[in-house]
Every structure is written in structure tokens, then in C-alpha cells.
Amino acid sequence: MTDANASGRGAWIAVDIGGTKIAAGLVDDADRILRRTRVATPAGTPAVLAAVAGLVDDLRRHADRLGVTVRAAGVGAPGVIDPATGAVRSATDILPGWAGTPLGDELRHRTGLPLAVANDVRVAAIGTARDPAVAPHREVLHVSIGTGVGGALLRHGAAWSGPHASSGELAHLLVPARGAMPCGCGRHDHLEAVVAGPAIAAAYAEHTGGGVLPLTEVAARMRAGDRVADAVIRAAGQLLGRALAGLVAAVDVDAVTLGGGVALNIAEFTDTAREALRAEALPPLRSVPVLVPAAGVDVALLGAARLARGAVAGNGRNDAVNDGTLAQEQV
């Protein structure tokens, strides 16, 4: 756990639920993270709910010691999230049994706080909009590559969820390759099956005939001169970049931002994806920048804090997320 000094009188609790860890933070109105905490994601939905409630309680106690008032909480979670209720409409097996969880209602009941829930990648995308390099761009495609693959479309700083709350589900794009392991939905020919961290590690094992190693070890071997590791990582980056070129042509954005553990920690992967996008893109789109926000992993907490602010906006809607029924506005 880490702390920073508080200077305001109000704060927001931000939570990011992931397949391997749950991170949470206390964030002030100036987007400073006053305290960070995290736990390993436990097995089973009831245990996940209890863990989130425990983190919120810890952060509220810390806020009391700082003399600040927690106003609301924002939560990023895997799956297709109902924008009105915060329920998980559908999900892959990253969290077994997650689909159908009434997440928003459960956490409001357990914490007693005003609370908003949105898809985790969408929340991270909201956080990237605070980055000085990203903020000038009005239409942004955010892509996260980690344990899984996800995406979000930002319009004027707000995440576009779409009428079915499924905008940005990039994991299930068809690709001209067969992954060494399946996508979270079970298919082998989806983007997640070839570019996500576990897929890259599985591809390396398939090529070497050895056991599956952590992706960090595969990346270390690449940097030590392992040509198979280098080829596997760059092949995944190439496939991602080509997919992004098609997406950029379809939605015509000002910028692409990359996040997630693979993109943030393996520059060779990110650089290859950037080069492939430019090589494949239509001429007017070759200048679209591919950015890695400076805030890195903190974008998820900053986005969740903004989501929390929207939970108490007082206008009956959360302006951090746009489901297509609202007029666009500058944020």
C-alpha cells in the first residue's frame, strides 16, 4: 500500500477488478492518488465481492484519518456491463461464473456508497483521456492487451458503450491465424487467441516444445537473444497492428492508445504493432499516432475515479460513459 498527502476535503474510491488482481485507490479532485492498495483476485464471485467491499472499507478508514469525505465509488470490471444497473450481462472465463452477477446492486448494498460500474477497459480508456498527450484528441481508440484483449472508443473524453453495451469487444475479431490457446470465449481464430499475454506464452511453448513459461520469462529470453521468443512476440505485435489498421479505417479516430501489461511492458511488441498499423493503414490514416499514456497502470484508477464522479453528478446520468442516447459534449 502507498500513500500521498491530501489537500482537498473530498475524494473518490476507484476499483479495478482484474483476473489476477483487484486494485483500488483513493483519488482526490486533482486526480492525485492518495492511497493505493491491491489484493490477489480470489476464486469465486462471492469472494470477489467480499474482497472489493474490504478494499473499499480500508480506503474509507484511511479517508477518515486524512479528514476527507468519500463521495462515491467507481468500479471497472471485466465483461459486458449494463450501464444502467452495473450488472454483468455476459463475460468470458477470466472470472468463472462472473456472467449474470448483479455487481452494481451488490456493491452498493455492501458499501452504502453511490457507485457506478463499467467495463474495465472502458474505464481505463476514460483514464487515458486525462493524459496530456491524449487529451487534445477528440476520437480515440483505446486497446488493452494483457491477460485478455479489450478496447474502447472515446468520444470527447467519454467512453462510448453502444446500445448493447458491447462497444470495444475487440477480443473476438476474426484473424487469419490460429492461436496456440483459445480466446476466452473458446475460439482459436479470435484476436485474443493470438496477441494476449497467455497466447504469446503458449505460442512460444508450441514452437520450442517446452512447457508454458510466464510471459515475463519469454520477454527476458527475447532480450537475451532468443530468436524464437523474438519472432513469437513480434508476430503477435504484427497481427495486432494489422487488426488496428482495419479498425482505424472503420471508425476513423484521431489517435490510438495502448494499455495492458503486454503493451506497457514489452516495447518490442508495441513498436511492431505501431509499425504494422502504419504499413497497413490507408494513406490518410498513416499519421494517426499510437500512444502509450504516461500514467501506465494508473489509468484504470483515474478512469474509475471519474466514473465515481458521474455517479453523483445529479443529472441522472453518468457523463463518463455514453451509450449512444446522449448528445455529444465536450468534457
Per-residue confidence (pLDDT) for residue 2, from 0 to 100: 55
- pLDDT, mean over the chain: 89
Instruction: Give the containing element (helix H, strand E) for 81.
Output: strand 80-81
pLDDT digits (tens, 9 = 90+) for 253-278: 999 999 999 999 999 999 999 999 99
If asked whether residues 154 and 92 sit together in one domain, one would say no
Residue 152: C-alpha distances to residues 9, 131, 187, 219, 229 (Å): 32, 16, 21, 27, 29
Structural domain includes residue 115: yes
d(CA 79, CA 90): 6
If asked whether residues 183 and 215 sit together in one domain, one would say yes
User: Per-residue pLDDT for 31 more than 60?
Assistant: yes
Strand order in the sheet with 149-155: 290-291, 255-259, 139-145, 149-155, 158-160, 321-322
How far, in whole angstroms, is CA 275 from its chain's centroid? Answer: 23
- Model confidence at 232, pLDDT cuts 50, 70, 90, reads very high
pTM: 0.86
If asked whether residues 143 and 265 sit together in one domain, one would say yes
Structural domain includes residue 328: no
User: Per-residue pLDDT for 15 more than 90?
Assistant: yes
Residue span of the structural domain in which 46 resides = 2-120
3-state DSSP call for residue 154? strand
- Model confidence at 320, pLDDT cuts 50, 70, 90, reads low
If asked whether residues 100 and 153 sit together in one domain, one would say no
User: Per-residue pLDDT for 326 more than 70?
Assistant: no
d(CA 112, CA 231): 51
If asked whether residues 107 and 141 sit together in one domain, one would say no
Structural domain includes residue 321: no
**Percent of the chain having pLDDT more than 90?**
68
Q: Which three cell numbers stand for residue 51?
A: 474482497
Per-residue confidence (pLDDT) for residue 274, from 0 to 100: 96
Q: What is the CATH number of the domain that holds 52?
A: 3.30.420.40
Structural domain includes residue 78: yes
Residue 249: C-alpha distances to residues 43, 165, 167, 216 (Å): 40, 22, 16, 33
Per-residue confidence (pLDDT) for residue 235, from 0 to 100: 96
Q: Give the DSSP letter string of 16-53.
A: EE-SSEEEEEEEETTS-EEEEEEEEPPSSHHHHHHHHH
If asked whether residues 156 and 271 sit together in one domain, one would say yes
If asked whether residues 116 and 11 sit together in one domain, one would say yes
Q: Give the DSSP letter string of 232-297.
A: HHHHHHHHHHHHHHHHHHHH--SEEEEESHHHHH-HHHHHHHHHHHHHHS-GGGTT--EE--TTGG
**Residue labelled with grid coordinates 485507490:** 25
If asked whether residues 243 and 142 sit together in one domain, one would say yes
Domain count, the chain: 2
pLDDT digits (tens, 9 = 90+) for 185-221: 778 889 999 999 999 999 999 999 999 999 999 999 9
Question: What's the length of the chain?
Answer: 331
Residue 220 identity (one-letter amino acid): A
**Residues 72-94: what's their mean pLDDT?**
90
Structural domain includes residue 283: yes
**Residue at which a domain ends, from 100, 120, 140:** 120
3-state DSSP call for residue 74? strand
